[in-house]
Structure 1
Amino acid sequence: MTSSPRTPERAGADAGGGPARQQRSTAQNCAITALLVLLVEITGLAYTMVTPALSSIAAAFGAPDISWVVTAVTLVGAISFAVCGKLGDVFGKKRVALACTAVFAVGTALCAIAPVLPLLITGRALQGLGLAVLSLTYGLVRDVLPTRLVPIALGFIGTGMGASTIIGPFISGLLLEQFSFRGIFWFQLGYALVVGLLVWRFVPGTGVRLRVGVDWVGAALLGLGALAFLRGVGTAGSAGWLALVEIIAGVLLIAGWIGYERRAAEPLVRIDLLASRRVGLPLLANACVQFALVGNSMLVPMLVMSPAAAGFGFGATALGVAGFLAASGVSAMVAGPVSGLVSRRCGPRVGMAFGASALTAGAVLMALVHDAPEAVLLAQLVFGVGIGAASAALPNIIVQAVPAEVQGVSGGMLNLVGSCGSSIGSQVLVVLLLLPGTTQTGVGYAETGFVLAFLAIAGCGATALVSALATGPLRHRRTA
């Protein structure tokens, strides 16, 4: 079956592209860039503001298994990256990005008022659609800004995403101390509405359209398969044979999705690229890195907020949690550019191998040495170096591993597989956390559970390291 044509066309007047973008002043282009950076921040804040509140959410609803508060976002986000990216090509990236922001706002409002946990999880699933603004914004930058400013704008967007790992926990801590966890969602709602309106008013659209199809069948098969599989994994300890049925159903649906994608005219994912060692192994490494990233952001607040009377933990406040998470955020922001320089001179596999090694070491330290705040801070600094270095090296590996004509779809696959890794991580780690049982409060976790969970993260780091080393030689282009 042949692919449908991808002919670019203009929808009406040139809205932001061509001569118009060349005529804007530098101040106008800087303002557009700033608004796009603020828009992308909703994706980072959806994680960094909520993970410090997981213990409060668990206590409020009396539910120790709150993994779906994170999984719902990452699972829907994985599908929205690919589907909304295609919709942006067809209907316009700005229009689709604003639609995703509106759905994010609706989901945030539902989270803020949800009387029961299932409704809050539903709201988080709607927030997952907002993650698509990341890939849509990258496209908008290329479409509406002058070519000379595109690399600078993309760099600011990347820096902004890193900044949310530092700023988000502090805002979350302040809100949790003054209000309940619901204050976090009211803040996110106001942020999304204000930034969305500013983007609608001041950021130009683009008339560029592509005649492409949207793989709805592939998206449905992947989404249902992932949902069934993750539900089965999450209930394996309590649902018995029903969990096994869900896991088997999920595997069969994903197998059917792979078969369908091989024949689809406009596939959601290029299966032939996945089968390539130089692409498949880096994608596996990215899934492991995202597993570790989301897992660490979930576990650290729960660990340090545990009462010292339990024999571990420091009884930290929500604002105190921000200091521990900021340690990994700062070191990640420093390690990212350094890894980029290393990738230019020595090849990205070196940066990836270093990052995976540091990630593994930080997770091992968290598992074995967490009896003092200084030890946890040191472990988080090491872990952040690993996350920053690995995250910066992975896109460069993909760029050098694939031909130029498929780099766009490969980048989309990197996001999709990374989101799947996050979804699996949030489920698996809570299962491990609950294995030894909970404390007398019903929502506190035993120390052994944290040890198992952090060792699982270390295992992911080791897998990412092996994947990086086994990728094989790349088309390295040394830059002086």
Structure 2
Amino acid sequence: MRIDTSSDTAHDCDEGGWTPRLICSLVTIVLLLEMLAVSYMMISIALPEILAHYETTQGAWLLTAFLLVGAISCPLVGKLADMHGKRRLLLACTLIAALGSLLSALATTYPMLIAGRALTGLLTPCLFLSYSLIRDVYPKRTVPMAVSIATSGMGVITVLAPFLAGWLIDGFGYRSIFWFAVIGLTVLAGLIVLTTDESSIRAHARLDLIGAPLLSIGLAAILVAISFGSRWGWTAPSTLGCLIGGAVLLGCWIASARVVRDPLIDLRVLRRRTVALTTVGAGACYGAGTVFSLVLPLMCMTPSVLGLGYGFDVTAKGFAVFQAPFGAATMLGGILVGVLVRRVHLRQLMAAGLLIETLAALLSAGVHDHKILLIVFIGLFGLGQGLIYASIPNLIIAAVAPQLQATSASIVAVAQALFAAIGPILAFVLLNAHIALAKEGEVFYTDRGITLVFVLSATVALIGAVAAYALPRSIRELTLPDADARTSPTRSAANA
């Protein structure tokens, strides 16, 4: 891989501050990333209505299809962004996601709905593309706060979004959330063109046409086995075939990544301790958060008269009372990182966030019928999310050179998407093993099933906390050698 370094430090040397155009650019990026969060949240809130409409218990695939495509596309998008420009790929992903939302809005069958959600999964790379673009084109001293705000959201949006979701779903049905996404994403694509500059940093590389299908098919096969294993039987030929076949393909991908000149994911980057542990912690954060957000509407919107030990019988709009504190606390956590980043080590902030998530999920596991306490625990979990969301990109920015920002961030994004994709599958495996009753096409779960899902969320967060505490105290920037100097040790930073 050959890197164009003609303007690597152009923005590093720029000590300028905030301008009206820069503020508009940040607001636009925040709104785009909020569309990612809002889209995911709206699906969780609409999930009971969607499952009842299509009479299915395979709700996990509404979330998993979105995240699976996100996981598979991140390395390719990251590579293309380094080669052709981060803003260009950001716009492409945004517009394809809008087309996916259009397909979901018009879906007449459940598979068609899932296909639309899969295309919308291209919103996932927008997260790392955004903060990598900020790193390239914003003045240096504005980057930490801009990244923290961009990745944790603006409080007003995160607080109001649940009420918007409830109003749309209750008033116009679940299809309205997809139409909202179509309009919002199209408008934001235009605003990005008007407010945000393109990065001038380029890496000259070749696309890994061997690694892409090996990685994508291998991951998909394993996720299919995990999703349908409880129905097919864990020892059934179909389940074992998917598991073994997926593992073999992933093994082949690892082997190819070691010999291909420009692999889809450069495994040398993962040998960097900071990148590897940040990747694990980031994945755990997203996995824990996905599971937590999945079970909340199922629990809160269940009628209390069923006597299952949980349920407040709230509508989608009423659920906003539970969701809004989560968004506000997430915003607060992100701002705290922006304020403290120069005084408190990022590893401490990230670990603290994951431990807060662990505690909040365990407390929620023990309280299913007390509304006020549950809202407090939800807010606590959101605070942890905000601390982690803002810590992740700042860690990556500190750990790798500008030319590797998109590629390295895509590795983290793959872990985030994979943990978040597997989380709902495992959650529904637990829930579908604890069905209390089925009524008029709707399935309701036992109190024990709900408890186990919260415990799953806490366990995943705890794994991430351990990884975060293992991060090195001193972070040095990694620079990989280019194609003409791969064997030169002076061009590569030592592992932390």
TM-score norm. by structure 2 comes to: 0.85
Matches within 5 A, 1:388-399: 388-398=386-396
Pairing partner for 2:101 from 96, 99, 108: 108
| 1:293 aligned onto 2:289 | yes
Q: What is the one-letter code of the residue matched to 1:123? A: G
Contact 1:49 1:171 (8 Å CA) reproduced: no
Q: Alpha-carbon deviation of 1:149?
A: 5.0
Q: Report the equivalent of 2:481.
A: none
| 1:356 aligned onto 2:354 | yes
Q: 1:351 to 1:92 in 2, by over 3 A?
A: closer
Matches within 5 A, 1:58-137: 58-137=51-130
Matched residues in 2 for 1:305 and 1:185: separation?
21
Q: Alpha-carbon deviation of 1:194?
A: 2.1
SS in 2 for 1:261: helix
Q: 1:379 to 1:137 in 2, by over 3 A?
A: closer
Q: 1:199 to 1:287 in 2, by over 3 A?
A: closer
Matches within 5 A, 1:159-308: 159-160=152-153, 164-200=157-193, 203-205=196-198, 209-240=202-233, 241=236, 242-308=238-304
Q: What is the one-letter code of the residue matched to 2:416? A: G
Q: What is the one-letter code of the residue matched to 2:437? A: T
CA offset digits 1:204-263 (Å, max 9, x no partner):
545654422223322222211111111100001111211222122222222222222222
Q: 1:223 to 1:315 in 2, by over 3 A?
A: same
SS in 1 for 2:128: helix
Matched residues in 1 for 2:275 and 2:46: separation?
36
Q: Give the stretch that moved more between structures: 97-106 or 120-129.
A: 97-106
SS in 1 for 2:444: coil
Q: Alpha-carbon deviation of 1:183?
A: 0.7
SS in 2 for 1:443: strand
| 1:6 aligned onto 2:19 | no
Contact 2:161 2:324 (8 Å CA) reproduced: no
Q: Give the stretch that moved more between structures: 397-406 or 325-334.
A: 397-406
Q: 1:407 to 1:30 in 2, by over 3 A?
A: closer
SS in 1 for 2:261: coil
Q: What is the one-letter code of the residue matched to 1:187? A: F
Matched residues in 2 for 1:430 and 1:148: separation?
44
Pairing partner for 2:345 from 333, 344, 347: 347
Q: 1:428 to 1:270 in 2, by over 3 A?
A: same
Q: 1:141 to 1:55 in 2, by over 3 A?
A: same
Q: Alpha-carbon deviation of 1:328?
A: 2.0
Contact 1:72 1:125 (8 Å CA) reproduced: yes
| 1:443 aligned onto 2:443 | yes
Q: What is the one-letter code of the residue matched to 2:303? A: P
Matched residues in 2 for 1:476 and 1:205: separation?
27
| 1:466 aligned onto 2:466 | yes
% same residue: 33
Matched residues in 1 for 2:470 and 2:200: separation?
43
CA offset digits 1:168-202 (Å, max 9, x no partner):
32211110110110011111111112222333455
Contact 2:129 2:406 (8 Å CA) reproduced: no
Q: Alpha-carbon deviation of 1:417?
A: 1.1
Q: 1:264 to 1:70 in 2, by over 3 A?
A: same
Q: Give the alignment's Cα RMSD to 1 decimal.
A: 3.0
Matched residues in 1 for 2:46 and 2:283: separation?
24
Contact 1:111 1:119 (8 Å CA) reproduced: yes
Matched residues in 2 for 1:460 and 1:93: separation?
31
Q: Report the equivalent of 2:424.
A: 426
Q: What is the one-letter code of the residue matched to 1:7? A: D
Q: 1:117 to 1:99 in 2, by over 3 A?
A: same
Matched residues in 2 for 1:130 and 1:465: separation?
26
Q: Give the stretch that moved more between structures: 302-311 or 272-281.
A: 272-281
Q: Report the equivalent of 2:494.
A: none
Matched residues in 2 for 1:208 and 1:403: separation?
11
Q: Report the equivalent of 2:364.
A: 366
TM-score norm. by structure 1 comes to: 0.87
Q: Report the equivalent of 2:488.
A: none
Contact 1:400 1:474 (8 Å CA) reproduced: no
Matched residues in 1 for 2:393 and 2:188: separation?
28
Q: What is the one-letter code of the residue matched to 2:175? A: R
Q: Alpha-carbon deviation of 1:6?
A: 2.0
Q: Report the equivalent of 2:312.
A: 314
CA offset digits 1:295-318 (Å, max 9, x no partner):
111110111001102221100110
Contact 1:174 1:319 (8 Å CA) reproduced: yes
Matched residues in 2 for 1:23 and 1:396: separation?
20
Q: 1:211 to 1:8 in 2, by over 3 A?
A: farther
CA offset digits 1:91-134 (Å, max 9, x no partner):
33333322222211111011111111111010001001132233
SS in 2 for 1:6: strand
Q: What is the one-letter code of the residue matched to 1:418? A: Q
In structure 2, the gaps of 5 or more residues are 478-496
Pairing partner for 2:147 from 140, 154, 158: 154
Q: Give the stretch that moved more between structures: 186-195 or 228-237.
A: 186-195
Pairing partner for 1:39 from 9, 32, 39: 32
Matched residues in 2 for 1:40 and 1:179: separation?
24
Matched residues in 2 for 1:475 and 1:300: separation?
37
Q: What is the one-letter code of the residue matched to 2:326? A: S
| 1:453 aligned onto 2:429 | no
Q: 1:47 to 1:201 in 2, by over 3 A?
A: same
